[in-house]
Homo-oligomer: A and B are copies of this chain.
């Protein structure tokens, strides 16, 4: 059912939905025959909820596809991430917490190494340390042009973000090709406008690159730059219009706050980095919203670090701290899930479907006794697209009218 059809079914209700996303929740056993991180964790509160809930495995993008954080979250928010694309430049800008405005043009930048003839010898400039990247970015901030404001921020190591903001009332378009040829031994490509209206943007970007190369001369290995994913805020359908839910986002990391902002969620202030602070934000704003996106980052960080035990510990902490606090608020629907899997043994995001639990007074419980991947694989939600979570939540929250007579 597309957004327009779903909109036509909206029904007003006083019900509240909490979408608890433990980033990178899904995992794998440390040894053959063993348990995953979630299965290993001692989670009495989640297990008790599982007994009253429906379980399943959510597929973020598609079978076998490992999601990035941006598309994975769009899927959880009900947006098909293959249809609703957000450019890499925009995701990078959101990821560093930049307050991207509609009309801004953002690009992901990479420092690189070129030889005397301008041929690329290292696309990542020897993976310079973040500190060096930051120093170079400071130099690049001197490049400015009339009628636009240019922002440059270091992301990590050899990666940076470039944002060009029109300041003279003009409109910039961002249909401009990457300059990164994706191989060495060749020169960088010029920033090529793919339509006529993007030509002024391409000209600005080429001028910026030329100036950057001048500044970076002698700063080997980072003596040149490439730009990728030149993009603008894609103007996504707004969450409240699509789902009829006033939405508050509780997240401490810029990327997730940024994606929530792109679709018009209110990003709530959180006083600290810990889940306890996020719980406080949930309590403080409970009466103000219909839907809460509650993001837990550290499951993913532990998985990315390959730290199985730390990931187990984060899950146990959420079970002890977050779950009882949410249930004390009497939500009508609680979905506990992840945006993707990050098995500690893989030290990276993975394609494995994500253990998911849907709890509601109106659900027909599977009667499970635990909430791990194997319990979810036997659950009544089956293996389902993550984009189903929002429509399911609306149904269970009694917020949709009947379709047809």
Q: Name the one of B63, B68, B82, B95 contacting A391, with C-beta atoms under 8 angstroms.
A: B63
Tell whether, in the assembled complex, residue B366 and residue A377 are in contact, meaning their CB atoms are under 8 Å apart.
yes
Give per-residue flags for A72-102: 1 if the beta carbon is below 8 A from chain B beta carbons, else 0.
1000000001100110100110010000000
Q: How far is the CA of A88 from the CA of B405 in the complex (A)?
A: 6
Q: How far is the CA of A137 from the CA of B349 in the complex (A)?
A: 60
CB neighbors of B among A379-405 (8 A): 379-384, 388, 391-396, 400-405
Q: How far is the CA of A82 from the CA of B2 in the complex (A)?
A: 9
Taking CB atoms, residues of chain B closer than 8 Å to A72 are: 404
Closest B residue to A70 using CB positions: B404
| Integer count of this chain's copies in the complex | 2
Q: Within 8 Å of chain B (Cβ to Cβ): is A133?
A: no
Tell whether, in the assembled complex, residue A65 and residue B1 are in contact, meaning their CB atoms are under 8 Å apart.
yes
Q: Within 8 Å of chain B (Cβ to Cβ): is A321?
A: no
Tell whether, in the assembled complex, residue A66 and residue B400 are in contact, meaning their CB atoms are under 8 Å apart.
yes
User: Which 6 pairs across A and B sit closest by C-beta, in order of nearness?
Assistant: A64-B395, A377-B380, A68-B404, A382-B383, A351-B395, A71-B404
Q: Knowing that A63-B392, A64-B396, A64-B400 touch, tell me 10 more A-B residue pairs with CB under 8 angstroms.
A: A9-B65, A64-B388, A65-B403, A66-B395, A66-B402, A68-B402, A68-B404, A229-B405, A351-B395, A351-B396
The contact sample of 15 A-B pairs, CB cut-off 8 A, is A1-B82, A5-B82, A36-B364, A61-B403, A64-B394, A65-B403, A66-B401, A66-B402, A67-B403, A67-B404, A68-B403, A72-B404, A108-B405, A377-B380, A380-B383
